[in-house]
């Protein structure tokens, strides 16, 4: 675990949300250089903040120390190919325990967090600038969230005091989603991840109790919160052999108590779904390369 001690800055101001910067990485050694630079830039821009960077193994150990069998079982049931789904649940658990500001590794802020947060803030509900003329026009709208003004509550950045009821509700809903998962109800690939553990699940947990607990709603770009602090992050997709959004098999594996035929079916069909998804992705890339070549030849 990397934990950088804070440098003195505004330490006399008492805040509900602690000055903790939280990040999750697959491993410290395998972190891409541009992500490493991004996390270093965030730390440098926020003196007075402690930055905690947890690897997958360290985050799992954190859950073992602070939570119980239900949370550990849920993490174990998420299929290993669905890294983002596992990361979703881990961020909720870590942030609920520590409080602070969670950022995805590609995300950041264009100004210091002390200029964004107010001393009385307990939870910031962050949404896209997704109106017709917005920077993120159309982002975050899903049929399941038709009753939610301005669409999903973002989870690539999450800002909360420790123990806030919104995070408790999110954790409970995600655990329930995992325990009751079926591919027909939740789906697979990106949509399945969004519904099971991601922003759709997060929003559906918070929205019904929004009026009950202290919070402040903000638009990410209005406050200088950036989904991708350098470029759009899309090139990272191409480095993966198979991106999770292309997956065709279930997000969640059968429970240990599931009938034997269900577990056998999952084991036998998983490699078939993976092979088909990989073939589709390879064909899509070949078509894209062919279009680019035709475009260059037409110049």
Query: Average per-residue pLDDT in the chain?
Result: 92
Q: Are residues 158 and 288 in the same domain?
A: no
The parent domain of residue 259 ranges over 254-294
For residue 125, the number of C-alpha atoms closer than 13 Å in the C-beta half-sphere is: 23
Indicate if 177 and 288 belong to the same structural domain: no
Q: Please indicate, yes or no, whether residues 188 and 280 belong to a single structural domain of this protein.
A: no
**Is 118 among the domain residues?**
yes
Q: How far apart are CA 262 and CA 267, in angstroms?
A: 9
Judged by phi (left if over 0) then psi (alpha if -120 to 50, else beta), residue 196 lies in alpha
Could you give the count of Cα atoms lying within 13 Å of 65 in the half-sphere of its Cβ?
Answer: 9
Same domain, 154 and 265: no
d(CA 81, CA 227): 23
Cα–Cα distance for residue pair 163/24, rounded to 1 Å: 19
Q: What is the pLDDT of residues 73-123, one digit of tens each?
A: 999 999 999 999 999 999 999 999 999 999 999 999 999 999 999 999 999
Write out pLDDT tens, residues 159-176: 999 999 999 999 999 999
Report the number of distinct structural domains present in the chain.
Answer: 2
Place of tokens 């991708």: 228
Same domain, 110 and 146: yes
Q: What does the pLDDT average to over 230-244?
A: 57
Q: Is residue 13 part of a domain?
A: no
Spatial contact of 96 and 30, defined as CB atoms under 8 Å apart:
no
User: Quick one: 268 and 156 in the same domain?
Assistant: no
Is 90 exceeded by the pLDDT of residue 292?
no
Backbone conformation region of residue 293, classed left if phi is above 0, alpha if psi is from -120 to 50, else beta: alpha
Check whether residue 194 and residue 269 sit in a common domain. no
Evaluate if residue 2 carries a pLDDT over 90.
no
């Amino acid at each position: 675990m990397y934990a950088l001690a804070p440098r003195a800055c505004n330490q006399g101001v008492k805040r509900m949300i602690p000055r903790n910067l939280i990040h999750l990485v697959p491993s410290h050694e395998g972190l891409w250089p541009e992500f490493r630079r991004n996390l270093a830039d965030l730390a440098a821009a926020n003196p007075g903040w402690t930055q905690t960077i947890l690897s997958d193994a360290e985050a799992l150990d954190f859950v073992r120390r602070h939570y119980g069998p239900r949370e550990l079982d849920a993490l174990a049931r998420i299929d290993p190919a669905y890294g983002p789904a596992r990361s979703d649940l881990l961020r909720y658990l870590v942030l609920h325990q520590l409080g602070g500001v969670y950022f995805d590794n590609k995300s950041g802020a264009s100004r210091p967090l002390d200029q964004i947060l107010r001393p009385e803030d307990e939870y910031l509900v962050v949404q896209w600038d997704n109106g017709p003329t917005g920077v993120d026009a159309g982002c975050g709208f899903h049929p399941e969230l038709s009753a939610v003004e301005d669409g999903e509550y973002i989870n690539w950045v999450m800002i909360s005091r420790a123990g806030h009821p919104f995070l408790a509700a999110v954790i409970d809903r995600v655990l329930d989603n995992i325990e009751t998962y079926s591919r027909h109800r939740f789906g697979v690939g990106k949509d399945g991840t969004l519904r099971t553990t991601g922003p759709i699940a997060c929003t559906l947990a918070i929205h019904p109790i929004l009026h009950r607990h202290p919070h402040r709603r903000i638009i990410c770009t209005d406050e200088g919160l950036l989904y991708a602090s350098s470029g759009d992050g899309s090139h990272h997709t191409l480095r993966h052999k198979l991106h999770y959004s292309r997956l065709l098999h279930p997000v969640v594996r059968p429970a240990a108590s599931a009938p034997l035929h269900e577990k056998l079916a999952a084991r036998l069909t998983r490699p078939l779904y993976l092979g088909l998804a990989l073939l589709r992705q390879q064909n899509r890339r070949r078509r894209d390369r062919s279009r680019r070549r035709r475009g260059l030849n037409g110049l």
